[in-house]
Every structure is written in structure tokens, then in C-alpha cells.
Amino acid sequence: MFVQTFPITRGDFDTAGEASSKIKNMLKKLGISPRIVREVAITAYEMELNLVIHSLGGELKLEVRPKSIELTAKDNGPGIEDIKLALKEGYSTASESVRNMGFGAGMGLPNVVRHCHNFHIESELNKGTLIIAGYSLDEKED
Amino acid sequence: MKVSEVARILNAKILCCEHRLHEEVTSAFGADMMSDVLAFMNEHTLLLTGLVNPHVIRTAEMLELRAIVFVRGKEVPEEILERAKEQEIVLLATDKTLYTSCGLLYATGLPECRRK
Ligand SMILES: Nc1ncnc2c1ncn2[C@@H]1O[C@H](COP(=O)(O)OP(=O)(O)OP(=O)(O)O)[C@@H](O)[C@H]1O
Ligand SMILES: [Mg+2]
């Protein structure tokens, strides 16, 4: 099993995407199928951006097992008040300055759901949010 | 459509990665929101955008895009060129607007990208 954790700093746009880029390269080196690498990279990037934009800081964790991959985003707050709403396309609380950088369309979480095989989210106000995106590796590959 | 053909149709300047002009794009997407790009595009899609910042290249890296067209005559800073070269993404720049650029490509038969 292969595990790597990346700390993600709130508001750090200069380095946003670096963890996801590393994750992508690691998976390539491990010989994971290109299709899965791409899906995981997109998910990782959406999760990383959400940690930078919406959380007070947290971490992104990659776990690779023989038959599965798991990406976990965990943060220290502020938590999500209405998870159902947050999972709706177009819902975003991102600021104007975030939008000017090209993000904050409310597409990220639904995109994560679309690009992974198993999705788990839990959140508590003032405590934090935990999101897990899982991939199984024994599916038919194209 | 080959990326070189895109450059010709849009009368675009080739900013980097000329050696990949032979790459094929099978659809196109025009947007300034990288969030929408992440939600809609796939690896054989051409991106047309008026947004010029390093996040555009990072987004393209994740999606494995082959080429990006910057529209509206935007100045593209060196930092962005460097990052694109690392990823071997062809960067094109045209003075045309996003509307006109998309229209010209659409008229040749290059379709919109379909969401998976
Ligand atoms: N880690 C988090 N902590 C707190 N709130 C979050 C977190 N992740 C997402 N949210 C909330 O859920 C909303 C929807 O997230 P989503 O990723 O779908 O869209 P976005 O980040 O606002 O925009 P986009 O992803 O399109 O750039 C956010 O606007 C924010 O209110
Ligand atoms: Mg998001």
C-alpha cells in the first residue's frame, strides 16, 4: 500500500494544484491506467481547490491499494451547513475575487461525484469537512 | 482537426510547443471559468478562453489538454509560457473575440465537447 499526505493552506492560490499534480505523476509512475489517472487528477484538483478556497486549511491524502485508490480531503472548518445544497450544480459561496481567477461556479463537488466510483461526504459546522472519493481498480479498462 | 488548422483559421500566433501542432482536437469548448472547463471538457478538446492566469495551465494539465487558444488579444506572460512548455501544451493567441473564434471553428464542423 502507498500513502501520501499533502497539507493544504487556506487561500494559497500560488501553489494550488501542486498536490494534485504530484498525485497525478505518482499514479502514472505506479502504472495505474491512464483513464483512472485522469479521473483521479480531476477529483484531486477539485478537492484541493475547495480546501484552498473554502476551508481554513486541511490535507489531501492519496492511498493506493492493489485493487483501489482513495482520495481523502479533510479540513479544520468551517464546515458545510447544507450538504445537499453544496452538491447541487451552480451553488457556490465563492467570493468575487475567486470568480475572477476562474473558479467558484459551483461545479466542483458535482464533478467529483461524477468522476469517482464511491463518494462519501460528512461535515459539521465549526468542526470541518471530510470527503472521500474512491476508485476500484479491477473494473474493465479501456 | 489539427491544431495547426485551428491556428490558421483563427489567424493565431503560435506561442509555444510548435512541435505539437500536428495533434488532433475532436471538439472545442469556450469559457472563462475554469470550474466549467473542469466539468465539461475531455482530453481531446480544444480550450478557447479569455482568462489568462497560471490556473488555466494547471487545469489543462489535469485534463490533459493538447492546446489552448487565448482570445481577445490578451498578453500572455512568460510564467504561463514556461508552465505550458513543461506540459507540452500548444498555446495560441488570437485577436478575435471568444464568440467569433468559436463561430469560425464551429462553421468548419468542429463540434462542441460532450459531457461524459
Ligand atoms: N471544504 C469545504 N469547506 C467548507 N465549505 C465547502 C467546502 N467545500 C465546498 N464547500 C461549499 O460547497 C460549495 C460548493 O462547492 P463546489 O466545489 O461544488 O463549488 P465551488 O467551489 O464554489 O465552485 P467551483 O468548484 O465550481 O469552482 C462551496 O461554494 C462552499 O460553500
Ligand atoms: Mg469547488
Angle at the Cα of A22 (from A19 to A25), degrees rounded to 5? 155
Q: For B53, which of A46, A101, A105 is closest by C-beta distance?
A: A101
**What is the value of ipTM here, to two decimals?**
0.95
User: What is the average pLDDT value for chain B, to the nearest integer?
Assistant: 96
| pLDDT at B114 (0 to 100) | 85
Domains recognised in chain B with CATH numbers: 3-107 (3.40.1390.20)
The C-alpha cell at A135 is 476508485
Nearest to residue B70, comparing CAs of B51, B86, B89?
A: B51
Domains recognised in chain A with CATH numbers: 2-136 (3.30.565.10)
Summarize the confidence of residues A126-136 as an average pLDDT: 98
Asked if A106 lies within 8 A of B53 by C-beta distance, the reply is no
Q: Where are the beta strands (DSSP E) in B31-89?
A: 45-49, 67-70
| pLDDT at A140 (0 to 100) | 56
State pLDDT tens for residues A4-45: 999 999 999 999 999 999 999 999 999 999 999 999 999 999
| pLDDT at A19 (0 to 100) | 98
Q: Is the pLDDT at A1 greater than 60, yes or no?
A: yes
Nearest to residue B25, comparing CAs of B6, B1, B9, B41?
A: B1
State pLDDT tens for residues A64-116: 999 999 999 999 999 999 999 999 999 999 999 999 999 999 999 999 999 99
Interface residues on B facing A, Cβ-Cβ cutoff 8 A = 32-36, 38-39, 43, 51, 53, 55-56, 58-59, 61-64, 116
| pLDDT at A138 (0 to 100) | 81
* Residue B82's pLDDT band (cuts 50, 70, 90): very high
Summarize the confidence of residues A55-62 as an average pLDDT: 98
The C-alpha cell at B112 is 462542441
Mutation to probe ligand 1, out of A83, A87, A109 (largest number of atoms < 8 A from CB):
A109
| pLDDT at A142 (0 to 100) | 47
Nearest to residue A102, comparing CAs of B34, B54, B98?
A: B34
| pLDDT at A98 (0 to 100) | 97
State pLDDT tens for residues B1-40: 999 999 999 999 999 999 999 999 999 999 999 999 999 9
| pLDDT at A139 (0 to 100) | 61
Q: How far is the CA of A57 from the centre of ligand 1 (A)?
A: 14
User: Which ranges in chain A belong to alpha helices (H)?
Assistant: 18-29, 34-54, 83-86, 96-100, 108-115
Q: Is the pLDDT at A141 greater than 70, yes or no?
A: no
